[in-house]
Amino acid sequence: MKNTSPSPSTARRQIREAVVQLLHADRPSPDGEEAALAGDPWPLILAPFEGKVIRARARVVLHLQQNRAGRLQPVWKQRVQAPPLLESFLDDRSANRGFRQLLAAEQKLPDCFDLLRRQLKSEKEPETIAENLEDIRATNEESRHNGQALITALGPVDACPELLRPLAKALPPLVKSASLLHTLFTENLPDIPETKTLRECIKTREEIKGAAQARHQLVLANLAETDKLITAQLENFSFQRLAQVDRAVLRLAVTEIQHCPEIPAAVSINEAVELARRYSGTDSASFVNGVLGKLQ
């Protein structure tokens, strides 16, 4: 199975990119003393990682639900005989209604799965895939809830009316399949080989976020000292005139140089230059390199 975790160097760059975006989103609070985030930047920052999570989830959903139609077939065979029996033997119209709702949900799911296959094949945007996944989740919940309620109402197979035993036998495998699908949308993913890629994608997303948050807080905790150091390196140029992206890149790099001894200064400078080039252009990259070079 392909390893979906980023290499250490890629992860470090992704963390720095996230921090720069966080710093870029910072704005002064009304009293001018602290930084406050203008809106929530995380959806945009984590979009590439969330996209991988969405696609991985879609693939494992399709893989683990390949036998869903087979599980439904014996239940589907009871669609004519079961409804009147449920009402007469159980004296409960809700059981009959639940059975019909289960069948309706199960009829809808194959179309959702087919759409999901096409979306993955045509590389649709993650947001579009996510909408279909949510539809699958909700439809599956309808089936799972009603299936479990019917199992409870019917009781043990040997104890339920003989004419309803085929339904009582057929429901548990279908509900088991629905319950497995249910777990794919929870935080407690089943620890099975099929979910390995999905679990790795989620882990990467959370690790990048956690590391970026910690680095961002380190920058903010030392902001006054950092800004003084940057200002001291500027020649014929005021700190206030710095482009917002350049300021964010410099703040991150200087913080790393001053407070992250495990990171070589040359690495922080090189990464800062690349970030400036990516987000602001060649001139900014040269400017950032010149400012940081004076700190070595």
* CATH number reported for the structural domain that contains residue 96 in this entry: 1.20.140
Residue 287 has pLDDT above 50, yes or no: yes
194 belongs to a structural domain: no
φ, ψ of residue 48 in degrees (nearest 5): -65, -40
When the pLDDT of each residue in the chain is averaged and rounded to a whole number, the result is 92
- Read off the pLDDT of residues 187-223 as tens digits, 9 standing for 90 and up: 899 999 999 999 999 999 999 999 999 999 999 999 9
Nearest Cα to Cα of residue 132 among 148, 107, 110? 110
230 and 158 in a common domain: no
How many CA atoms lie within 13 Å of 147's alpha carbon, on the beta-carbon side? 27
Query: Any idea what the CATH number is for the domain that residue 228 is in?
Result: 1.10.940.10
CB 132 within 8 A of CB 53: no
282 and 157 in a common domain: no
55 and 17 in a common domain: no
- Tell me the mean pLDDT in the region 77-84: 95
φ, ψ of residue 73 in degrees (nearest 5): -50, -50
Considering its fold, how many domains does the chain have in total? 2
147 and 67 in a common domain: yes
- Read off the pLDDT of residues 137-160 as tens digits, 9 standing for 90 and up: 999 999 999 999 999 999 999 999
H-helix or E-strand spanning residue 37: strand 35-37
71 and 56 in a common domain: yes
20 belongs to a structural domain: yes
Q: Burial-class residue 2 by CB neighbours within 10 Å (0-12, 13-18, 19+).
A: exposed
> Which domain-ending residue is among 126, 152, 186?
186
56 and 30 in a common domain: no
59 and 181 in a common domain: yes
192 belongs to a structural domain: no
> Which domain-ending residue is among 186, 211, 231?
186
37 and 53 in a common domain: no
How many CA atoms lie within 13 Å of 203's alpha carbon, on the beta-carbon side? 12
Residue 124: pLDDT band by 50, 70, 90 thresholds? confident
pTM for the full model? Answer: 0.86
Neighbours of 258 (CB within 10 A): 16
pLDDT at 93 (0 to 100): 85
Helix and strand totals (H; E) in the chain: 13, 2
Domain coverage including residue 265? 8-45+199-293
270 and 147 in a common domain: no
d(CA 286, CA 274): 10
> Which domain-ending residue is among 157, 186, 215?
186
CA distances from residue 68 to 18, 39, 71, 75, 180 in whole angstroms, order as listed: 40, 42, 5, 11, 11
Residue 285 has pLDDT above 50, yes or no: yes
127 and 114 in a common domain: yes
d(CA 161, CA 141): 27
76 belongs to a structural domain: yes
Residue 267 has pLDDT above 60, yes or no: yes
Residue 7: pLDDT band by 50, 70, 90 thresholds? low
118 and 26 in a common domain: no
223 belongs to a structural domain: yes
- Read off the pLDDT of residues 14-60 as tens digits, 9 standing for 90 and up: 999 999 999 998 865 444 444 444 578 999 999 999 999 999 999 99
Nearest Cα to Cα of residue 205 among 30, 58, 80, 54? 54
213 and 180 in a common domain: no
1 belongs to a structural domain: no
The one-letter amino acid code at 294 reads K
The one-letter amino acid code at 170 reads A
